[in-house]
Amino acid sequence: MILGISSAAVDVLSEARAIVRCLVEAERQRGLAHAFHAVSRNTGLSARRVRAYWHGEVAPGAVHAHELHQLRRAAAEHMRAELRRAEARIALLRARLGEQDVASPDGEAVVLAPQAAA
């Protein structure tokens, strides 16, 4: 315990901040304001609360259980979506190597002819 703050509270805050950073970075291409609102929609937290996590304004011990649950749920969904995109990309690459009838990264079906032997 440091200055009356338990290490568990610090660990929870670190986890919450890491999740917010990951989710915001994934949406950041259109700017931070957009990213804060996108993460807000995906987590159920207010955009202001997301911004507070991002800027380190949330104090240890101030992370609510429901917030951590929502952040973990959103992080898991983000990882599942990333995995689906990666699997689709792998299938597309395999198709380019000669396999047939795969899904594109956006979920659309793609049928490619086998590569002719050179």
Task: Please give the chain's pLDDT, 118 residues, in tens.
Answer: 455 567 887 889 999 999 999 999 999 999 999 999 999 999 999 999 999 999 999 988 889 999 999 999 999 999 999 999 999 999 999 999 886 555 666 666 555 555 555 4
Residue 88 main-chain phi, psi, to 5 deg = -65, -40
For residue 110, give the nearest of 97, 94, 92 by alpha carbon: 92
Residue 1 in any domain: the answer is no
Give how many domains the chain has, as a whole number: 1
Residue 15 in any domain: the answer is yes
- Burial of 50 (C-beta count, 10 Å sphere; 0-12/13-18/19+): buried
Domain housing 47? 7-110
Q: What is the DSSP letter of 101?
A: S
Residue 2 in any domain: the answer is no
pLDDT at position 60, please?
83
Q: Does the predicted TM-score (pTM) go above 0.85?
A: no
